[in-house]
Amino acid sequence: MKPVIPAVKAVIVKGDTFLALKKKGQAGDVYELPGGKMNFGETHGECLFREVYEETGLEVQPFILYDTWENFQPDYQITGVFYLVEMPENGTIRLSEEHVAYQFLPLEKASLAQMDIVFADRMARWDFEAIKGFMGAR
């Protein structure tokens, strides 16, 4: 039996934008979301806090579980969840050695052209206007 690996990703919202990270060694202008694989005994929230802090230096809390994603490889499957997260007001981004750049992309479908296909395919179904309204209404 091939392993199924749980993971979490954060959609860190700042105004009408979201945080995207460029992984070291990634060819082209392709970005991903902060987050990663869960450790044994870790909750989704604990994993999200740990991974986002390791990758960006930001201390965040999951706000709402928004969607799921899957990544099928020949020897394993990653099954993950997306959390909507607010950008900390006084947050300063410090990238880990895993990433070389970041940017805040507009919360709209056109931004998905810069995202890794694993995430872009799923995010293409999202209602970005509803996300903006929901996150801005808080």
Band (pLDDT 50/70/90 cuts) for residue 134 is confident
User: What CATH number is associated with residue 91?
Assistant: 3.90.79.10
Q: Give per-residue pLDDT as tens, 28-47.
A: 889 999 999 999 999 999 99
Question: What confidence score (pLDDT) does residue 136 get?
Answer: 78
What does the pLDDT read at residue 28? 84
137: confidence class by pLDDT, cuts 50, 70, 90: low
Counting residues of the chain whose pLDDT is more than 70, the rounded percentage is 99
Domain that holds residue 17: 4-136
Q: What are phi and psi of 85, to 5 degrees?
A: -140, 140
Alpha-carbon distance of 56 to 35, in angstroms, equals: 10
For the entire predicted model, the pTM comes to 0.93
Question: Angle at Cα 12 formed by Cα 8 and Cα 16, nearest 5°?
Answer: 145
Summarize the confidence of residues 64-86 as an average pLDDT. Answer: 94
Instruction: Summarize pLDDT for 80-117 with one digit per residue, the tens.
Output: 999 999 999 888 999 999 999 999 999 999 999 999 99
Predicted confidence (pLDDT) at residue 22 exceeds the cutoff of 70: yes
Q: Residue 29 has what pLDDT?
A: 87
Q: What is the pLDDT of residue 132?
A: 92
Please give the mean pLDDT across all residues of the chain: 93
Q: How many structural domains are present in the chain?
A: 1
Show the DSSP H helices in 9-127 as ranges: 44-56, 117-123
